[in-house]
Structure formats: structure tokens, C-alpha cells
Structure 1
Amino acid sequence: MHNAHFDGSFGAWREIARSLLQRGIAPHQINWCDNPGSAGLFEQSNDSLESAPAAPAPRVPRQLLALLQSAACFRMEDRWSLLYRILWRVSLGDRSAMLAGDMDGSQLHKRLKAVRREAHHLHAFVRFHPRPDGTGGPQYVAWHEPAHDILASASGHFAERLGRSTWLIATPQDGVYWDGQQLHYQRPCPAEWQQLAQNPEDEGEALWLAYYGSTFNPARLNRSALETSLPVRFWKNLPEGPLIPQLMSQARAGAQRDGQAEGVARQPGKQIRQRAARGAAVSGNGDPDLPR
């Protein structure tokens, strides 16, 4: 068994995978280790590959390498072994390994879809907090907990939109800092970055919460749709997250019937209820029969 050690990056995996392919080492003969200290005492390491005879470098489609790089962001124990198995098959001429109808190809495309969705979640659910002037460092900070390793590839989205403003996104695994001109990626995430992101000094958060609560429409609440578009796992890191269960509870307790938030419903004025039936009666002049 060959123990393939690398630092967990796609670039390092690609170099080792190329060397393994040149030496004709099949997927079932490799144990991928992105933790260099986990090698067994009697297993072969990367050094043993250098003495093995090497064949010419295999030729594979450039499109395949792009797919493998994206799929490498999917967190799974077998992510590197699946990628090598697909690369091995394609290098032998079996391009069906790239297709969604293939057993390996199906797993590849499912992971690509999950990675794309997680990148969308990053763009949609990151909340930047402004930092007080004169404190130095980034002007905006955010904490996010993605399910997959998408920060490095997906954070350029914010660099294109925030211009020269400096910002920082920290996660439990890695972090990215935009200094106004260049993106700096760190893995693992420095402890000081994590501390900045998890303890923002945002003086305007109370105003945002008041705005969010006042614009919440209980009449349009659909819990399943809400949890599909805004997964519950992100609530804890959103400023408005703690408000959502409370607003949902108020909707079920009567606000949904009134079609108003509780604070608005207490205001003086005449209440006009809507008909429950889809088709309202029509009067002789062609106007709907409004409630009296």
C-alpha cells in the first residue's frame, strides 16, 4: 500500500497524482493522507515513488482537471480517492467516468452541485459588521461556517463588489482578507482573525434588528420554504437569526391571521379582513363584493 502524503491542497494532490499515474499505481493501492503524521510504520511513503520507473505523463482533458478541482472542495473522507479513481479511469481512455450516468461520475456531479450551492450560501448569508474607525485592520469582518471548503474560490465575489473597502471573512478552517487590492488566503485561519470576526463591535446592529422585525410579513410565512432558502444551520451566525423563531411563533399565535407584525397590529385603526375563499362575489357593477 502506498501512503500518499500531502498538505491537503488540490495543487499538491495533483502533483502526487501525476507521479502515481506515471508509475501505473492503481487507485486501490493508495492511501491518501492529508495529515503527514498519520503514516503507518510499514507502509510505503512518497519517497518510495521516486525510485519506481516512470512512464510519460498521461494526457487528460483540461475540463476534467477543472471539475476535479471544484469537487476537491467537498468535505468527505474519500474525496481524494474518488478524484484519483476518476483520473485513473480517464487516463486509461474511459471517459464515461466524467459523466453523471456513471457510478463514479454520479458522485462527482453530486459533489459539484453541493459545492456550487455552498458557494451561493456564502454569497447570500455572510453578514459583514463594520468596525469602529481608528481601530486598524479590516473595515468589515464576518464569521461564516461553510459545510465545504469554498472560501478560497468563492470569496472573490466580495472583492468585485466592495471595491477598495478592506474586509475579512473567517471560518473554523480558513480565512480570507482583502486589503483593498489583493486577496490573502490563510489555512488554518489565524486565531486573531477568528477573534475579530466572532466579536464584532457593530453599533448599528440594533437598528438592523428593528428594521428586520418591522418588515417581517407573518401572512406570507411558509416555514418549509424559509428553511429551504435559509437553512437553520446559518441562523446562529446571522444578526437576525435569534429573531426568526420568535417571529415565527408570533405568526402562529395570531399575527398570521392579522397579516401584520405584533407591533403594527397594536396601532389604532380599522382592521379589514380578507376573504378566505378564492373567488369573491361580484356585484352588479362588476366590482368585487368588498367586506362591510
Structure 2
Amino acid sequence: MDSNAPGGDQDLVAMYVVQRGAWTLGGPPGRGEQTVPAGQFLVRHVGRLTAFETTAHLTAKFLVLPPGELKPLLGNRVITGPADSAEIRLLTALTDMIHTTVADLGPAGVEATHGALIELAKAVAKGRFDDVEPRLAPALTQAAKDLADRRLADPELSPAMLAHELNVSVRTLHRAFAAVGEQVATYIRHRRLQEARLALTAPSGGLSISELAAHWQFADSSHFTRTFKKHYGQTPTEYARSTGAASLSPNRHLPGHGPAESA
């Protein structure tokens, strides 16, 4: 695809984050074109938007940022790096949150969101995250949740692993969750319980209680059953029977009320 951007002088910082395909940008005078391949990001200060080309099936994010605090950091540099870096993960999580909530934000919320966006963009330019900036707590929390959701069945999933992947300290991660009234370990446990509950009612399911416990990283079937009952008020078997899942899936082999099903 070819597109000519409107002319005229502009003062902006542009960021491109490409997940699939490639985005080729017209460069400033004397620099030529620049291509952002899949799995990479590019950020630069531009005086105007220039022509660009994209490949078919492009999946990417394009952000236009105010230059005030970013222009001195960038200068004439073009910064590139992996799209799955900690800073880009946080920035992506924040922009997704803004997209879904901006219509409901009041003036104070808009100002706080703007500040958090600029701080994360600065983190990209610096190559490091300011882990004492309180305005970034919601974005850090969301990025950690997104990552946890993709790794729920991973036995290595833990606050320490999430902190490492997001390039922050464990203390910073805990502080970010606390700022929004949550705990990291509690979020992981609740999400695993949610997925286990869905598996119990899936018509195509066939896992036993022990298999579900192992898959979702509970210590054993008894621990899984106690945790499930505490959260949902029923044992896994009782829940499956109450929804008719046991009759829908005769090969599920849900155990009866034995030791593993004790509260």
C-alpha cells in the first residue's frame, strides 16, 4: 500500500510497533527510507509525516506523541528495538487501556493518562523503565496481567518471572498491583481457577480433577478442590454436575466425593 501523508510542517514524535508484515517509512532528507520489520518498533521525531509503504496483512500500532519532553531525548536519533521489550509491552498495554476508557475520563483522568503515556514513551527512548513513577502502575499491572494470561499453564509463572519479563523489580510489580487494589499471586490463582471452571463445563472436555489440578499448576487435587470450593462455593464435581457438564461429557471421569473432594 502506498500513501502520501498531508504536507505542511508538523512537530511530532511518531512511533511504529509492527507485529506482522513490514512498514517502510520515507526518511528525512539525506537519510533515505527506513523499514520496520515484524517484531520491531521504531520511534523518531519528525517535522512532517512522509510517504510510507506497508506489506499485505500488516498488524501494527502507530502512535503520534507530543514532542515536548520527548524531542530533547530523541534529537536526530531513530530508536529501534524489539516489539516485545518491557517498555513497549507497557506502552502497548497503556494505549489499549486508553482506547477503551478515554470516552469516560474526566479532565483529571485525561491529564494523568497523558502523563503516564509520556513517561512510558520516555522509557522507550531511554531504554529503561522509571520504576518509581506512580502514574505507570496501571499500565505495568495490565502488562503483567496480559503476560500472565498467556502463561497460565506455565509452571514457571510467578511474580518473579513476570517482573523479570517486564524488566522491573518484584517489589515494583507488587507495588503497582497494590496501587490498583490487587495482588499478583491472587490474580494468577483466580485466573487459573477461571480457566479450570471453563474446562469443567466444556463439552469436549475429558480431564479428571487430578489432571485439571496438574494442568493449572495446583499442588494436587485436594488443594485444587479446596481452593475451588473456597472461591466458587462448590467442589469441582458439584459445579460440573450443577451445570449438567457431567452428563454432557461421560468421559470426563470426575471423581465422587472422596478425599480429593473434601472441603
With structure 1 as the length reference, what TM-score do the two structures score?
0.28
Of Structure 1 and Structure 2, which has the larger fraction of its residues in strand?
2
| Greater relative contact order (CA < 8 Å, ≥ 6 in sequence) | 2
